[in-house]
Amino acid sequence: MGVQDKRENLVRAPAQPDQSGRIRERNDNSAGNGDGGTDNKNRATDNKTTEVENVNGIDLRCGDALEELKTLPDGLVDLVLTDPPYNIGLQETRAGSKAMAAWDKIENYTDWCIEWLNECSRVLKPNGVLYFWHNDMAQIAELLHETAKKTDLVLVSFCIWDKGDTYRAKAWKQRDPEGTTALRSWFNVCEYCLHFFKAPKAAGAAWRATGLDRINSNPECYKPIKDWYKSELDRLGITTQTVAKKYTAVTGKKPYMLGHYFCDSQFEIPTREIWDAVYRPLGFGKEYEELRKEYEELRKEYEELRNYHRCDDMHCNIWHEPPIPSTGRLHTCQKPVKILRRLIRVSCRPGGTVLDCFMGSWSAGEAAILEGRSFIGIERDAEYFEIARKRLETVNNQERIYGM
């Protein structure tokens, strides 16, 4: 579904509670479990899961991430874009009072993360992409170590949201002009976003780093061209050694490149010059243009097998974006929709599905809908879930009023 189609759908039928049973109450004890360290008031009320059913590509669930993830089928989503608790004893302000955010402290944190990461990996398509946010380097180090050992996720980039020269960073020096008693380390003005590809453990190093090998070294890819090449050798009554000798005679080079032409390892077709000077004189029956067109058509098909990544302007791993001002902020850890929209454009196929299993105030949901992708969001805290649902209604209303 294109962006425009999705917007029209949103205008026609906003996802909000109505008489048609779009919001379902489940009483299945599934919500609120599995955190090992939060109190009941932060759980979905009375162990019920309130679920906004899939309406116009938006599926919001109020429940525990692990429990809800287990209800999703394998290979459903293109992109997981999520922001889990950082386990740092975060302070949050609610109803005018500051308190430790109970949802942010979790026992056996690394094990718990590996559990939800493995569930996300299962729910991802075989070429899916996953990002998660964090800001505590010591825990990130442990998580990366365990993720590499215990999941099918491979780290691709370590990205930084640079919040700029914030007032809080400047204020330390104003408080302590001599600079003797202030911070004992550098004040942190960034958050980290870890970027992974789903790739099977058996995949080669090149695939695990870039997803590239998936096409060029997969024996199944370009099989029609490879089979045609073998049938031509048979028809002409020659072997690859004949081709190698001719190649060396014409180019003066050792025939190392022939190890890639028409082969399973880093498959390539020859250049036009080599085709016309080596293969055609030996009797291979296709014009270069015919071979190239066939290759391009297959390449497009196989590109779909790769982990999705599209380049954009200033394509680097540091993202400069000011923090969300505290006035009007919907969540203590709210992420800028501008960054999330960019991640979705870069890492999720048009019309694909984005999952955020720690949805908070629905920032990733808003980004997904504005980018024309479907969205599945899970949030355990009933208050945040309500904020998320209101935010969805606001976007729907803006759609209706302004035709955003």
Ligand X SMILES: C[S@@+](CC[C@H](N)C(=O)[O-])C[C@H]1O[C@@H](n2cnc3c(N)ncnc32)[C@H](O)[C@@H]1O
Please tell me the distance from the alpha carbon of residue 172 to that of residue 174, in angstroms, as a whole number. 5
Please tell me the distance from the alpha carbon of residue 60 to that of residue 25, in angstroms, as a whole number. 12
The answer to whether residue 43 forms part of the interface with ligand X (CB under 6 A) is: no
H helices present in 19-133, as ranges: 65-70, 109-123
User: Segment contacting ligand X (CB under 6 A): 165-173, 202-210, 265-273, 326-334?
Assistant: 326-334
Can you tell me which of 51, 59, 78, 83 binds ligand X, judged by CB under 6 A? 83
Maximum Cα–Cα distance across the chain: 86
The answer to whether residue 64 forms part of the interface with ligand X (CB under 6 A) is: yes
The answer to whether residue 59 forms part of the interface with ligand X (CB under 6 A) is: no
Q: Determine the distance from the C-alpha atom of residue 66 to the mean position of all C-alpha atoms in its chain, rounded to a whole number.
A: 18
Can you tell me which of 56, 121, 147, 361 binds ligand X, judged by CB under 6 A? 361
Q: Containing H/E element for 160?
A: strand 153-162
User: Which two three-digit tokens encode residue 387?
Assistant: 């904020």
The answer to whether residue 333 forms part of the interface with ligand X (CB under 6 A) is: yes
User: Segment contacting ligand X (CB under 6 A): 19-27, 148-156, 214-222, 359-367?
Assistant: 359-367
Nearer to ligand X, 63 or 270 (CB): 63
Can you tell me which of 334, 347, 353, 374 binds ligand X, judged by CB under 6 A? 334
Of 87, 95, 38, 86, give the one whose Cα is nearest residue 64: 38
Nearer to ligand X, 106 or 243 (CB): 106
Nearer to ligand X, 269 or 354 (CB): 354
The answer to whether residue 49 forms part of the interface with ligand X (CB under 6 A) is: no
Spatial strand order in the sheet of 318-320: 23-26, 49-55, 58-62, 374-379, 353-356, 77-82, 124-134, 190-198, 153-162, 318-320
Can you tell me which of 10, 55, 58, 65 binds ligand X, judged by CB under 6 A? 65
Which parts of 95-124 interact with ligand X (CB under 6 A)?
A: 103
The answer to whether residue 216 forms part of the interface with ligand X (CB under 6 A) is: no
Residue for token pair 């976007």: 395
Nearer to ligand X, 221 or 357 (CB): 357
Of 404, 328, 387, give the one whose Cα is nearest residue 60: 387
Residue 335 Cβ vs ligand X, minimum distance, rounded to whole Å = 4
Residue 120 Cβ vs ligand X, minimum distance, rounded to whole Å = 12
Q: Contact at 8 Å (CB) between 160 and 318? A: yes
Residue 322 Cβ vs ligand X, minimum distance, rounded to whole Å = 15
Which parts of 292-321 interact with ligand X (CB under 6 A)?
A: none
When CB distances to ligand X are compared, the closest residue is 360
Can you tell me which of 331, 342, 373, 389 binds ligand X, judged by CB under 6 A? 331
Please tell me the distance from the alpha carbon of residue 134 to that of residue 188, in angstroms, as a whole number. 12
Can you tell me which of 49, 363, 374, 396 binds ligand X, judged by CB under 6 A? 363
Nearer to ligand X, 103 or 375 (CB): 103
User: Which two three-digit tokens encode residue 180?
Assistant: 């003797």
User: Which two three-digit tokens encode residue 398?
Assistant: 């803006």
User: Which two three-digit tokens encode residue 84?
Assistant: 């889990």
What is the β-pairing status of strands 124-134 and 77-82? parallel
Q: What percent of the residues of the chain are helix, what percent strand, and what percent coil, each to the nearest 5?
A: 40, 20, 40
Dihedral of CA atoms 186, 188, 189, 190 in degrees, nearest 10, equals: 130
Which parts of 243-262 interact with ligand X (CB under 6 A)?
A: none
Nearer to ligand X, 195 or 380 (CB): 380
Can you tell me which of 247, 308, 358, 375 binds ligand X, judged by CB under 6 A? 358
Nearer to ligand X, 59 or 379 (CB): 379
The answer to whether residue 85 forms part of the interface with ligand X (CB under 6 A) is: yes
Residue 11 Cβ vs ligand X, minimum distance, rounded to whole Å = 25
Long-range contacts of 97-100 (CB under 8 A, 24+ apart): none
Nearer to ligand X, 70 or 254 (CB): 70
User: Which two three-digit tokens encode residue 193?
Assistant: 């976003």
Residue for token pair 């001599």: 178
Which parts of 370-389 interact with ligand X (CB under 6 A)?
A: 378-381, 384
Q: Binding residues for ligand X, how many (CB under 6 A)?
A: 20
Nearer to ligand X, 274 or 388 (CB): 388
Binding residues vs ligand X (CB under 6 A) = 34-35, 64-65, 83, 85, 103, 331, 333-335, 358, 360-361, 363, 378-381, 384
